[in-house]
Amino acid sequence: MSITSFSFPTHIRFGAGARTEVREHLLGQGLKRPLIVTDKAIAALPLLDEFMTHLAGLEVAVFSEVFGNPLCSQVMDGAAAFKAHRADCVIGFGGGAALDVAKVVGIAATLKGDIVEYAWDHPNVRPIEKPLPYFVALPTTSGTGSEVGRSAVVSENETHLKRVIFSPKILARTVFADPELTLGLPPAITAATGMDALTHNIESYLSPAFHPLCDGIALEGARIAARSLVPAVQEPGNLAARSDMMMASMMGAIAFQKDLGAVHSCAHALGAVVDLHHGLANALMIDTVMAWNYEAAPQKFDELAHVCKVWGGGVEFVPWLRALKVRVGITGKLTAHGVREGHIPRLVEIAAADMCHQTNPRPCTAADFKRLFEKAL
């Protein structure tokens, strides 16, 4: 067996009320001028104002120009806000988009060049040559798990192609995972982000890459999400279910350091071409891709069925996914969400070029992606 390196992410404070610890934590680090990076929707909600009441005594500025699938220009604008405030740290407060921008604002604020030049596949990728500003993360959704990830996904301004900045240096120093911050999420967002979390756990487990630590985390994350996604959607005030989904989200993001699969390649393409919400895109593609994947890993499907309590074993796992989507209100095929047949050539081009499918359990060609998108249409 070859030698394989493993790593594990950051310090986490988990539980209801964790958000109230941020002030003392930052003061303990000698930090007093945070820039909060959040999105436009959250900035308009009482959620941000309530969080700000726990930061009394700090000189706080807010950058809230994150929206949609985040663009490189949003990162650069956030960096300008960081410098204008003379900030000494960053607080990421929001869903995956806000947290991805928050992770890399410090790069753009303190190092040279445009943020896209730090993407891992840039032809002249710039190194992160010095320590970045102190960064803490507070997720307000349970889906991407970006708060514990060592990558940030931002899209090019013109093409909307997703670019990945990957480095342990962008990890949050501490995550304050407070499920009370998700209590106000509407059912549709709870469902889409929850399906994102479940997809992360499923795809990372099915990946043929060798990482038994991540396999264990992914299976437990799938088990937790399977039992709690429906109550989280149908009972918005159910704090136990909200806590479960926040944990499943973090577990999925930790597990996918093992890598993902073709569902995510499809979702990245859908985000680039029709700006579809990432979690919804995963949800719309997962059953189609998993039905195609089954023959490559039937024993792993059996194991997923077991932890998710799918009676009938692995052959029933895909029908269970389809039924789960209906139970949480995700219905219709791609056409119901703005995708047209004319989009397929560009979708296939982007999905085939995406790195995620390189660890799909079944090798996936451009012709395969064409068939998958047509079936999901």
Task: Calculate helix-pair angle for 239-255, 187-206, nearest 10 degrees.
Answer: 40
pLDDT in tens, 295-339: 999 999 999 999 999 999 999 999 999 999 999 999 999 999 999
pLDDT of 6 higher than 60: no
pLDDT of 7 higher than 80: no
Q: How far apart are CA 58 and CA 60, in angstroms?
A: 6
Q: What is the pLDDT of residue 121?
A: 82
**What pTM does this model have?**
0.93
Q: Are 45 and 184 in contact (CB under 8 A)?
A: yes
Q: What is the pLDDT of residue 10?
A: 86
Burial (Cβ within 10 Å: 0-12, 13-18, ≥19) of residue 95: buried
Q: How far apart are CA 66 and CA 43, in angstroms?
A: 10
pLDDT band at 344, cuts 50/70/90? very high
Which string of b and e fits 314-342 if b means at least 16 CB within 10 Å? beebbebbeebbeebebeeebeebebeee
The residue whose two tokens read 């009972």 is 235
pLDDT in tens, 149-187: 988 989 888 888 888 899 999 999 999 999 999 998 999
Burial (Cβ within 10 Å: 0-12, 13-18, ≥19) of residue 176: buried
Q: Is 26 helix (H, G, I), strand (E, B) or coil?
A: helix
Q: How far apart are CA 210 and CA 103, in angstroms?
A: 28
Q: Are 62 and 36 in contact (CB under 8 A)?
A: yes
- Domains (range + CATH), the chain: 11-182 (3.40.50.1970), 187-376 (1.20.1090.10)
pLDDT in tens, 192-231: 999 999 999 999 999 999 999 999 999 999 999 999 999 9
pLDDT of 97 higher than 70: yes
DSSP per-residue letters across 275-313? ---HHHHHHHHHHHHHHHHGGG-HHHHHHHHHHTT-TT-
Q: What is the pLDDT of residue 4?
A: 53
The four Cα atoms 181, 183, 187, 192 give a dihedral, to 10 degrees, of: 30
Q: What is the pLDDT of residue 171?
A: 95
At 83, list the tokens: 């410098």
User: Which range is least confidently modeled, 59-68, 116-125, 230-239, 312-321?
Assistant: 116-125
The residue whose two tokens read 């056409």 is 335
